[in-house]
Amino acid sequence: MATPNRKPILLDFEKPLAELEARIDQIRQLAEENGVDVSDQIRQLESRATQLRQEIFSSLSPSQRLQLARHPRRPSTLDYIQAMSDEWMEVHGDRRGYDDPALVGGVGRLANQPVVMLGHQKGRDTKDNVARNFGMAAPGGYRKAMRLMEHANRFGMPILTFIDTPGAWAGVDAEKLGQGEAIAYNLREMFSLDVPIICTVIGEGGSGGALGIGVGEQLLMLEHSVYTVATPEACAAILWKDAGQAPQAAQALKITAPDLKELGIIDQIVPEPDGGAHSNPLKAAEKLKQCLVRTLGELMSLTPEQRREMRYQKFRQIGVFSEIVPA
């Protein structure tokens, strides 16, 4: 998980809160050094900090949520897996000669239930991000994911996927290796699997790169995650020839969890700790684990036929709307 004693990386809208918290720490330290009782003042300031935190994080714009989703200290797939699982063994390779570090997966136990867990993996710093290709999986990554999911289906283990990518790798080599075919194959095969599949957007869910491991009966999103057909920057560059219009594009794209829940695209919103998942990764993992265990219990009670039909109907209904014709 993220190291708590590192110097915090502050987003613009977090700075007023950080300044208030720094002031509280300074007053507390001065009071201890001088033997002065300022407990009443400290309580008032802490109450104000709690209120300010709630005000900030309850009224975030889509572009601010996007910043949170991309926060370098936001918990990653491996962070969540290691915090939630009782046992965990990573599996490498697609058995075609490639092991993609941008997509990780393996076998583990969640609340004593054997499961296969897999997801996109971003880096924690620049060097790590380059090694992980910024979480943008190559065709080998999606083939490794499918290998793991077929293993899960063969042995009756539920599948948990964690989505956190700006999109699939769009390089020339990726196209040569069959990026489109690899993602399309995963989409088709995931609809046919018998075991429960729960997909969770833990950070940034972008384009076909997200969909390549995103077909399941239940699609969950962490509260401050985003899920979109294209990044707001790409959308703005296409529509207005100006990536600076990204905030306007983010608003129009309906990328936030509340918007997508209202549209019926996602099924559940997983609440994050006050201040976002990066402020308390262990608490964020506990909240996600509770949601996954509860949802998994509900899906395990269904037959494979019911799960496949649930999966099919879920995606058939996306984009359906009713048009009211004036009398």
The answer to whether the CB of 205 falls within 8 A of the CB of 226 is: yes
Q: Which residue has the higher pLDDT, 40 or 89?
A: 89
The answer to whether the CB of 202 falls within 8 A of the CB of 70 is: no
pLDDT score at 130: 94
The answer to whether the CB of 131 falls within 8 A of the CB of 170 is: no
Looking at the predicted structure, is the pLDDT value of residue 3 above 50?
no
Mean pLDDT of the 184-190 span: 96
3-state DSSP call for residue 87?
strand
Looking at the predicted structure, is the pLDDT value of residue 1 above 70?
no
Mean pLDDT of the 21-29 span: 80
Dump pLDDT digits (tens) for 196-221: 999 999 999 988 999 999 999 999 99
pTM for the full model?
Answer: 0.88
CATH 3.90.226.10 for domain 64-316, yes or no, is: yes
Q: Closest Cα to residue 269, out of 196, 195, 190, 202? A: 202
Exposed/middle/buried for 215, CB within 10 Å: 0-12, 13-18, 19+? buried
Measured distance CA(288)–CA(202) in Å, rounded? 9
pLDDT score at 6: 60
| Residue 153 CA: distances (Å) to CA of 102, 161, 189, 212, 316 | 23, 14, 11, 17, 23
